[in-house]
Structure 1
């Protein structure tokens, strides 16, 4: 990436996106936000990438969200809000990536850090950390929090939104927000990589359609989501991989996916 505070590495079909601003609690500067938009576009366009992992440098904080210091500097210098400097301020590009994204949350997360986690499909947390939506404490907004309603009970989410208080990751795990909680940052990243490798082992078209159909159900509701899921899976059932899967099973060997 052009900015040193964001790095993207690709290995064995897995792209690891790492926010590297430990001195600023991995906060989202304009450069990082725009770099993330570039990264998601690259990941979406590259057929060699099957899964992405989003993580950050170890400092106790996965991401503190918007860089409020930079926001103040921009407002004082130019009289505009920092979001006007970001080409995708609410990270819609990330949310629309068709490939699975795993959050390897190696610290506490709040505000925009929580937004990034919500935009991921799987989440691995770090024991002893906290998470929250803290915008009411700093006069910012959280329109991006709406998807959390399908991940957390409404009273819990409302408490987070209205009070801005952080909650233990263990409590959120109890409600189903995270897939796993690990004891160390390295273990968090290792778990995320294990999940990514397992996804890569699956049939590419099936993985893509599975994510798309579940997201469609979240947006459309159950009945409409099922119908949209049938449409999305038509390509899967008509693919060469749909023949290869049962053939490999019958021959007691690993399938060789072609993604078509």
Structure 2
């Protein structure tokens, strides 16, 4: 019978080292998995359970994690009622995709809600929110679009902080990409200003807000993504908001996006004719 030789000292040391490295790798993987799960919980709990509606104004939203299922926590959408009866909607994207990004996203949402309750002008809301976020000494920043809808005048006011523009379409077949001015992302520069675009909704249609995860991917330029969304919105403008949001989110699947993605649809009737 051949007797097995005892392992050489160097071999035993190598096996011991490999064992320790394997254990460390397992612990690292478990820690990363725990951070991803925590980010997913934060993301899910911080997004609104429902969006506000009014007669003649219907809303819907969608959120999707990145294609690899790990980049989560940066994108959000929101909708809330304001003290005087108006509605506000926001969508945005926080730098990074981890627990810190998810937490900062919640801070941005709360800040926008709080400032919007006391300030009407969306540009001023973004400016004040920017200064509040800077005072918190966070290392992160966020892009954002904020829309205010007045049910008395049927007018929308929009302001944009480094975010991708909105897409719109009307039931008569027109569509486009909003050409409103934008400012810097929130959390970068003290005293930043944000222009406001005002428009009365004289034709029935839809306004669609997206994050860049919907319209941009490694081989896919953002301009082409926006044009594709515009075509989808034009073709589906008469559909229910839930259906339109789902169709817009399909654009993200075609871009090979590495980022998470959010879609916010605001479908509206036409404003009543103004008295002569």
Fold match, TM over 0.5? no
More strand by share: 2
Higher relative CO (Cα under 8 Å, sequence separation at least 6) belongs to: 2
Q: Which structure has the greater CA radius of gyration?
A: 2
Provide the TM-score with structure 2 as the length reference: 0.29
